[in-house]
Amino acid sequence: MVLFYALLGSLSLLPVSKTWNTDVHNQIGFMAEHFLSLQTTEVLEQVLEPQYGGSIGRAAAWADSYAHTEEGSFSYQWHWIDSHDRPPTDCNLDFHRDCPEGGCVVRAIANQTQILRSCILQVKAGTLRDGNNLTCSYALKWISHFIGDITQPLHASGLAAGGNLIPTTFDGISTELHAVWDGYIIYSITGVQNFSNETISPYPASLLSRIEEDVFAEPISSWISCSDPSTPLRCALEWARESNAWTCKYVYSHDYNETDLLTDGYALEAYPIVEMQVSKAALRLATWLNRLVIQMYEQDRAAGVHFQINQQ
């Protein structure tokens, strides 16, 4: 047992694929913008550096590239949480067991949410504008990325380094299971090779109406049943456990040997899962940011303080 867990720990140190491909992260951000309130949009515009034009969609992929720089290497392991379980027969995730001292996606969401909370107060006070506080901009960019990360099932699974060490084939291409979930599946749904990193693409835009119509396998209300930014650790852990459960329900319940996952039925059944997880990430991100802003506003309004964005 000790050897088994030690092996999993060593696997987590190996290079891993990005969670969702960078353009998928962009699209999650652009989808989330559709659900942001005007007030939230105005606040976030002051938090982000000017080159993003106030768009969390354009900023949502930053965390991946930053993690692969010398300066940002400390944040590399923040993109996942390695469960010590045995899918597909046993899926479970324990924060104290599975989130190491250097951090994980659950702790990162909680910590960066607390930082962003204070940044919103700075915007209100007029001391933060035009992205002049990098700590605050980084916090927003990390949250915009990690709420996407945590919905990708293999970033809540420690088995074979989140599927990176499971070779497979997709549409005749030799790859590994993690990459299949990062991008191959969603690209095969749409028939494109990548999405825009500047604006929302047609396929993700089509998911917006499905969110509004509440036509996914899970009710929309369940996606945001835990969406109180004042309890970020509890909510992030709940989201991670939900993603981890998919590794038993579907991700690992398949024989990958000598099959092509595009044509053997695996991708077909994975399509609605990926569509739902991407949509879930977008709605959660928007709800999280809206509630962060409104919580600060309600507190100040109760104290008789007028809310005004300083754009001078």
* Domains defined for the chain, CATH in brackets: 2-302 (1.10.575.10)
Which pLDDT does position 257 carry in this prediction?
Answer: 74
Q: Which two tokens stand for residue 309?
A: 């964005």
Query: What sections of the chain are H helices per DSSP?
Result: 2-11, 22-33, 38-47, 56-59, 62-67, 95-98, 105-125, 134-149, 160-163, 177-179, 185-190, 202-213, 220-223, 232-246, 266-302
CB 14 within 8 A of CB 164: yes
Average pLDDT over residues 176-180: 96
Mean pLDDT of the chain: 90
**pLDDT at residue number 238:** 98
**248 within 8 A of 87, measured Cβ to Cβ:** yes
Residue 7 pLDDT more than 60? no
Predicted local distance difference test score (pLDDT) of residue 296: 81
Instruction: Name residue, tokens 């998919």.
Output: 246
160 Rama class: left (phi>0) / alpha (psi -120 to 50) / beta: left
Give how far Cα 231 sits from Cα of 125, 140, 292, Å: 24, 17, 11
> Of 12 and 55, which is predicted with more confidence?
55
pLDDT at 19: 64
Q: Residue 307 above 50 pLDDT? A: no
CB 300 within 8 A of CB 119: no
Residue 265 backbone zone (phi > 0: left; psi -120 to 50: alpha; other: beta): left
State residue 299's pLDDT score: 60
Counting beta carbons within 10 angstroms of the beta carbon of residue 13, is it exposed (0 to 12), middle (13 to 18) or buried (19 or more)? exposed
What's the average model confidence in pLDDT over 236-256?
Answer: 95
pLDDT at 16: 44
pTM comes to 0.90
pLDDT digits (tens, 9 = 90+) for 29-64: 999 999 999 999 999 999 999 999 999 999 999 999
Q: What is the mean pLDDT of residues 78-101?
A: 97
State pLDDT tens for residues 185-225. 999 999 999 999 999 999 999 999 999 999 999 999 999 99
Residue 258 confidence (pLDDT): 83
Q: Percent of the chain scored above 70 by pLDDT?
A: 89
User: How many other CB atoms sit within 10 Å of the CB of residue 256?
Assistant: 17
What pLDDT score does 144 carry? 98
pLDDT-based confidence at residue 228 (cuts at 50, 70, 90)? very high
Q: What is the pLDDT of residues 256-303, one digit of tens each?
A: 778 999 999 999 999 999 999 999 999 999 999 999 999 986 764 443
SS3 state at 216? coil
